[in-house]
Amino acid sequence: MVKVLIVYDSKTGNTEKMALAVAEGARQVKGVEVGVKKVDQTSLDDLLAADGIIMGSPTYYGQMSAKLKTLIDESVKIHGKLEGKVGAAFTSSGGTATGAETTLLSILNAMLVHGMIVQGRADDKHYGAAAVETPDEEELEYCRELGKRTASLVAKLKSS
C-alpha cells in the first residue's frame, strides 16, 4: 500500500473543494491510501510518512499562502528526507492572469529543492490544476485527473 497525502490551505472553501476532488482521483488507483489534511493540521511526520504529496493553496499575490509556506519553511528540519517522493500542486485564484501559474511553480519549486519527483503534463495545465474562484465541473475534473495521475506515478515508482 502506498500513501498519498493531500495538504491544502483554504480560506473560502474553494481550494478545499479542489483538495477533495484531487483525493477522489487518487482513490481511483488501486493500492493507494489517500489522506487529506488542512495545512495547519499537517506535521513533518505526515510528510515523511507519505510516498506522494500533493499541495494546494489559494493564490496570494502570485504565491502560495503563508500557512503553506510556513510548513515548507519548517520542512528544512527534514531536508533530504523527502527525496524521491512524488509531488504535485493545485491552486485557486480570484481571476484569470492573477498568478495561478506562479503559485503552482512556487510550490513545485520547493518540492524540487527537496529532491522530489514532479510530473508535468504536456497537453494542458502543465504545472498542476488551477481554478478561478469556485471550481466548476471542468476544473474539478482536472483536479481528479491530477490526483489519479500523481497516485499512478507513486504506485508505479513504488512497485519498481
The pLDDT assigned to 77 comes to 98
Residue 32 and residue 1 in contact, taking contact as beta carbons nearer than 8 Å: yes
Distances (CA, A) of 11 to 45, 57, 74: 24, 9, 21
| CA R_g for the chain | 14
Cell 507519505 belongs to residue:
50
Q: Which residues pair with 39 in a beta bridge?
A: none
- What pLDDT score was predicted for residue 10? 98
Fold of 2-159: Rossmann fold (3.40.50)
Domain residue spans in the chain? 2-159
Q: Could you list the pLDDT tens digit for every one of the 160 residues in the chain? A: 999 999 999 999 999 999 999 999 999 999 999 999 999 999 999 999 999 999 999 999 999 999 999 999 999 999 999 999 999 999 999 988 899 999 999 999 999 999 999 989 999 899 999 999 999 999 999 999 999 999 999 999 999 8
Query: For residues 15 and 91, what is the distance between their CA atoms, to the nearest angstrom?
Result: 6
pTM: 0.97
Q: What is the pLDDT of residue 96?
A: 85
Q: Which pLDDT does position 36 carry in this prediction? A: 98
SS3 61: coil
Strand, helix or coil at 11?
A: coil
